[in-house]
Amino acid sequence: MNAFPTVALPDGTAVPALGQGTWHMGENASSAAAEASALRLGLDLGLTLIDTAEMYGSGGAERVVAEAIAGRRDTVFLVSKVLPSNASARGTKTACEQSLRRLRTDRIDLYLLHWIGSIPFEETIAGFEALRTAGKIRHWGVSNFDVSDMEKLVKMPSGAAAATNQVLYNLEERGIEYDLLPWCAARRIPVMAYTPLGLAGRLLRSPALASVAARHDVTPAAVALAFLLARPGVIVIPKAARAEHVRTNAAAASLRLEAEDIARIEAAHPPPRRKKPLAIL
């Protein structure tokens, strides 16, 4: 098994820098078994961080994850998310307990607010802290927060306990590199990159990625993931429902891009030169 890089949460807990996403899993009962099988293969290959959410497949993705981790829960770092409409102090507790039942576990390792809603942060934090005290979650964090949101969050009572911020980040969407990524890095708050391979396969058709991939005898997807993994404090969570894609993703952990590779990628997919609105899917 390949040795995978890790990223430290603010309290020092080491988690895999490369994990598995589950967005769009659990939406069709006929594909659930294959999806669970793909996740199990990922676990076998060292991709032991799995990210899911109550929203995905209206709970179906959590049920797929439950099948995948059955009998090996203690080897998995499990992430799930609460919808903003459920993120009151009482609603967060109820939503978490429902997720726990679907996941067939007694704890979630990292529980995130999926995006900003109308419920005040203070209520959500109170719910998270109560869940942590009860042992139902180990850490909590947020998703789709920009710098201004993070600044408000960390000033609130217990707000500095936020363990991560999960945002859209890939070579087509590098806006967070201008301000959000350095802000989080300065405070040792890891960033989780969702949709790291872009949308609709457009990124994977990049001539620059194809050229670098050919030099290393890997796929363009592995190159795109390796580029993000090279960033300090970044956790990458690509989704793969097929065995060949899982193996491609896992290969990224051992790929080391050279200066020539980085230059070629940067020329085709340049970093931001100014502040951009946070991209959200």
pLDDT in tens, 23-47: 999 999 999 999 999 999 999 999 9
State pTM to two decimals. Answer: 0.96
Radius of gyration of the chain (CA): 18
Query: Containing domain of residue 171, as a range?
Result: 15-197+231-242
Which pLDDT tens digit goes with each residue over 123-144?
999 999 999 999 999 999 999 9
Residue 236 lies in a domain: yes
Domain assignment present for residue 50? The answer is: yes
Task: Give the SS3 label for residue 148.
Answer: helix
Query: Has residue 269 been placed in a domain?
Result: no
Query: Is 264 inside a domain boundary?
Result: no
pLDDT in tens, 64-84: 999 999 999 999 999 999 999
Overall domain count for the chain: 1
| Active site (catalytic) residues | 56
CATH number, residue 33: 3.20.20.100
Task: Assign 201 a pLDDT band (cuts: 50, 70, 90).
Answer: confident
Instruction: Say if residue 177's pLDDT is above 80.
Output: yes
Structure tokens at 275: 């502040």
Task: Find residue 137's DSSP bridge partners.
Answer: 108
- Has residue 271 been placed in a domain? no
Cα angle: 206, vertex 208, 209; to 5 degrees: 70
Average pLDDT over residues 46-71: 97
Q: Indicate whether 3 belongs to any domain.
A: no
Q: Check the CA dihedral 143-148-152-154 and report its sign.
A: positive
Is residue 56 situated within a structural domain? yes
Q: Is residue 8 part of a domain?
A: no
